[in-house]
Amino acid sequence: MRTPSLEARAAVLSPVVALLVVFAVGNVLVLACGQSPLSVFGALLDGTWGNPYGVGQVLFKTTPLVLTGLAVAIPFRAGFFNIGAEGQAVLGALATAIVGAFLPPGTPWIVAVGGSVGAGLVVGAAWGGIPGLLRARTGAHEVITSIMLNFIAFALANWLVATWLAMPETLHTAPVVQTARLARFSSFWDVFEGSALNVSFLLALAVAGATSWLLFRTPLGFRLRAVGANPRAAEYGGVSLPHMATLSMALGGACAGLVGTNFVLGYKTYYEDGFSGGIGFMGIAVALLGRNRPLGVVGAALLFGTLSQGTLVINALVPKEIVEVLQALVILAVLASSSEVRARLSRDAPRKGDA
């Protein structure tokens, strides 16, 4: 049997090491709250994967995390860091809600769903493309510009909703037309009764599959990864760096712009101010833990979806804010372990020429 390469072993081992470290720190935090880790962990598992409603809620929370994870992972593959997924998701969801609400009643469902989902996609891509374009044209770092665009997006959405779009005495928009709404799983399977899980979960999985195909099976994906691996070599090979900066960030933004499909079309039927609650930032942890691979992103999103739902269940014992600490620790642990694991593996491995 062929032994896996050092890189391959490091790729598997380092996220595992990272998760173990974070798990240990999580236990310490739980102890610091005066709770027993065993009972908290038991309650968390029981409230998530222990019953169909819990499973439904976990998958419902996983849906946007797959999308924001991809929103970070795609630009990352090209060497760009999108921390603006939050703002892209907010404006995309708002666009989805606006189009959905202004369509005449009785619009055929394919037009209603396509139009409102498409609006989110386009607005997300545009908002994500700006930092890419600025990076390409002026060299302004996308981290600073995309976080500034987050703040601008929040203020813009808040202004649009508060002054123009809100229903009287609320902070949410008018509901979308009936035909634009997406079916919940509970309408097919009674076991999911009460859970907000809807068909946009399948959309998120499809987007992950499409991303995988794009990145690893098309010339465009090859060029995109080439830029991330070695920008100078890629440029020498004829790839335009400005194009790739703009394109990869816009593709990421498009994924984030689809978040509204889950929240607006599948759950609330309207856009509500402040709905995003950090999912864009959690996308960073999801992407890094998933090693910027679409399949890995889905797996990491499931883990964080479980944590998000689980912390609601155990909120009485441990403040739900613990999940935000854990997501940051996951990123740090993945970063630290990837170099550490590789260093240790190569130290243990016999060197070439040693016999």
Partner 1 sequence: MNAFLPVVFAVQVVRISLPYALAALGGTFSERGGVVNIALEGIMLSAAFGFVFGSFVTGNAWAGVGAGVLAGMLLASLLALMTLRFRADAIVAGVALNLLAMGGTRFLLKRTWDSSSNSSRVMAPEAWGGGEGTWGAVASLVTHPLVLLSLALIAASHLVLYHTRFGLRLRACGEHPEAAATMGVSVRRVRLGGVLLAGLFAGLGGVWLAASQHQFTDNMSGGRGYIALAAMIFGRWNPLGAAAACLLFGAAEAVQIHLQGQGTVIPTQLLQMMPYVLTLITVAGFRGRAKPPAASGRTYEGP
Contact residues toward partner 1 (CB under 8 A) are 29, 33, 81, 83, 134, 137-141, 143-145, 147-149, 151-152, 155-156, 158-159, 162-163, 281, 284-285, 288, 319, 321-329, 331-332, 335-336, 339-340
Q: Smallest gap, in angstroms, from Cβ of residue 319 to partner 1?
A: 4
Q: Is the dihedral of CA 116, 121, 125, 128 positive or negative?
A: positive
Q: Which is nearer to partner 1, 45 or 140 (CB)?
A: 140
Residue 197: exposure state from Cβ atoms within 10 A (0-12, 13-18, ≥19): buried
Q: How far is the CB of 115 from partner 1 (least distance, A)?
A: 27
Residue nearer to partner 1 on the CB measure, 3 or 163: 163
Q: How far is the CB of 190 from partner 1 (least distance, A)?
A: 36
118 burial level (CB within 10 Å; 0-12, 13-18, 19+)? middle
Q: How far is the CB of 282 from partner 1 (least distance, A)?
A: 9
**Considering beta carbons, is residue 103 or 249 the nearer one to partner 1?**
249
Nearer to partner 1, 51 or 339 (CB): 339
C-alpha 292/C-alpha 77 separation (Å) is 7
What's the number of CA atoms in the CB half-sphere (13 Å) around residue 142? 29
Q: What are phi and psi of 83, to 5 degrees?
A: -105, 20
Nearer to partner 1, 77 or 184 (CB): 77
Which uninterrupted H or E stretch holds 60?
Answer: helix 52-77
Q: Which is nearer to partner 1, 24 or 155 (CB)?
A: 155
Residues comprising the chain, all counted: 355
Least distance (Å) between residue 33 CB and partner 1: 7
* 47 burial via Cβ count (<10 Å: 0-12, 13-18, 19+): buried
Shortest CB 338 distance to partner 1, Å: 8
Backbone angles phi, psi at 347, to 5 degrees: -70, -40
